[in-house]
């Protein structure tokens, strides 16, 4: 992996930000593309936000990208490009929590701070047979104190990387116990409890949403707008959205569209098969309906862009796939 053994705090920060909520296999290509486009914090800070979002397109959890932009500009402009070199100062940066601060501190500066991510939770809970829920206040405190107590202070960075890699490669959610050198010392393995650990006490409540997109075309142009509300995909682009509280028929969607935008002169070109996308706390159902206008109307909160230039805008993953398959 390209960030292994890296000592540049900018590159470590970038890799850790990308890998939050992202599989290594997926994150690697994004990391490499980011480093090529923005090799240092100054190039990141000077880049337009839209360009950075375009490089982030498809990774999801876009608040990470917003924090990346804000923190990069702060380091470049306010700190003159000097990345903070102590744990407390790193922790103060926007978008950086205790885990990322520990990772940057130990990897870049070998400071004695233990990392505690999902991999480390899993390794420690299984080897030591700890059933305290990792998502509880008690559990976070217990595991944090444990991780710090066993950290070899002189090799903090090396150890942190090793235990994270061990959790990613061997002690995975479905563990590779047959190749694990901890077999004789792993309390969970000796009791056949590997799949039961770590323990979580909270169940995530999933919100169901129905997103009905109306793709409005006029000749070789299409109407889009940028999401600005505090919600998923803030600052990304989308088509006209009719969100409903339950599944809706085409007739119902068009009726609401006409009422909301005052447009009734159009040709219904095509409707597309419904698709879904799962987020951490939301389940999204999408429909896409393509309309061709008889004249180029002004559409509230939208602007017209040529189809040939639509690839310059950053869209949520499902909308991007729709564009590629149907408007490319």
Does residue 1 sit within a domain? no
In a domain, 3, yes or no: no
* Structure confidence at residue 98 (pLDDT): 94
H or E element, residue 101: helix 98-109
Task: Please indicate, yes or no, whether residues 76 and 103 belong to a single structural domain of this protein.
Answer: yes
Q: d(Cα 103, Cα 93) in Å, to the nearest integer? A: 14
Q: At 147, which CATH number?
A: 1.10.340.30
My answer on whether 161 and 218 are in the same domain is: no
Same domain, yes or no, for 291 and 261?
A: yes
Cβ atoms of residues 44 and 38 within 8 Å: yes
Whether residues 211 and 153 share a domain: the answer is no
Is residue 220 located within the same domain as residue 113? no
Total length of the chain: 328
- 213 lies in the same domain as 133: no
Task: Give the domain range for residue 225.
Answer: 207-326
Let me know if 50 is a catalytic residue: no
CATH number at residue 322: 3.90.79.10
Domain end, chosen from 196, 215, 230, is at 196
Q: How many domains does the chain have?
A: 2
How many angstroms separate the Cα of 48 from the Cα of each of 52, 96, 305, 320?
7, 22, 19, 20
Q: Could you tell me if residue 292 is inside a domain?
A: yes
Q: Which of 16, 57, 221, 238 is catalytic?
A: 16
Looking at 170, 196, 222, the residue that finishes a domain is 196
The residue from 140, 166, 196 where one domain ends is: 196
Residues 38 and 133 in one domain: yes
**pLDDT for the residue numbered 258:** 94
Q: Determine the pLDDT at residue 225.
A: 96
| Same domain, yes or no: 154 and 46 | yes
Residue 4 lies in a domain: no
Q: Are residues 27 and 83 in the same domain?
A: yes
Q: Which residues contact 251 (CB under 8 A, 6 or more apart)?
A: none
Its pTM surpasses 0.85: no
Inside any domain, residue 18: yes
Residue among 42, 46, 41, 37 nearest 9 (CA) = 41
Quote the pLDDT of residue 25: 82
- Shared domain for 179 and 240, answered yes or no, is no
Rounded Cα–Cα distance for residues 186 and 193 (Å): 10
The residues, any chain, with a CB within 8 Å of residue 53's CB and separated by 6 or more, are 62, 65, 235, 236, 314
Residues 185 and 76 in one domain: yes
- Name the nearest CA neighbour of 212 among 300, 272, 151: 272
Q: Decide if 180 contacts 171 (C-beta within 8 A).
A: yes
Residue 201 lies in a domain: no
Q: Which residues contact 137 (CB under 8 A, 6 or more apart)?
A: none
Q: Does residue 166 share a domain with residue 46? A: yes
Query: Mean pLDDT by 10-residue block, N- to C-terminus, for the chain (328 residues)?
Result: 86 94 86 96 97 94 95 98 97 96 96 95 97 95 97 95 92 94 94 94 89 96 94 95 95 95 94 90 96 92 95 94 90
Please choose, from the candidates 298, 291, 295, the residue with its C-alpha nearest in 3D space to the C-alpha of residue 267. Answer: 291
């Amino acid at each position: 992996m390209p960030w292994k053994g890296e000592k540049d705090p900018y590159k470590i920060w970038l890799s850790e930000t990308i890998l939050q909520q992202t599989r290594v296999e997926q994150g690697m290509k994004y990391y490499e593309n980011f480093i090529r486009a923005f090799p240092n914090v100054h190039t990141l800070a000077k880049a337009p936000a839209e360009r950075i979002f375009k490089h982030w397109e498809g990774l999801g959890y876009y608040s990470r990208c917003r924090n990346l932009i804000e923190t990069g500009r702060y380091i470049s402009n306010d700190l003159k490009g000097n990345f903070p070199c102590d744990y407390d100062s790193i922790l103060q940066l926007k978008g950086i929590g205790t885990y990322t601060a520990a990772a940057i501190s130990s990897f870049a500066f070998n400071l004695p701070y233990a990392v505690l991510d999902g991999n480390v939770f899993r390794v420690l809970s299984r080897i030591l047979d700890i059933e305290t829920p990792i998502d509880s206040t008690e559990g976070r405190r217990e595991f944090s104190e444990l991780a710090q107590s066993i950290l070899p202070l002189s090799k903090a960075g090396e150890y942190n990387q090793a235990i994270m890699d061990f959790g990613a490669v061997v002690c995975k959610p479905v563990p590779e116990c047959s190749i694990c050198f901890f077999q004789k010392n792993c309390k969970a393995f000796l009791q056949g409890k590997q799949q039961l650990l770590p323990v979580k006490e909270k169940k995530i409540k999933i919100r169901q949403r129905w997103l009905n997109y109306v793709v409005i075309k006029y000749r070789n142009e299409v109407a889009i707008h940028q999401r600005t509300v505090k919600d998923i995909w803030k600052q990304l682009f989308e088509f006209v959205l009719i969100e409903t509280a339950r599944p809706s028929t085409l007739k119902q969607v068009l009726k609401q569209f006409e009422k909301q935008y005052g447009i009734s002169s159009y040709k219904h070109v095509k409707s597309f098969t419904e698709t879904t996308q799962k987020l951490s706390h939301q389940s999204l159902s999408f429909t896409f309906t393509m309309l061709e206008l008889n004249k180029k109307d002004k559409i509230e909160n939208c602007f017209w862009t040529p189809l040939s230039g639509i690839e310059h805008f950053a869209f949520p993953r499902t909308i991007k796939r729709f564009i590629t398959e149907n408007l490319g």
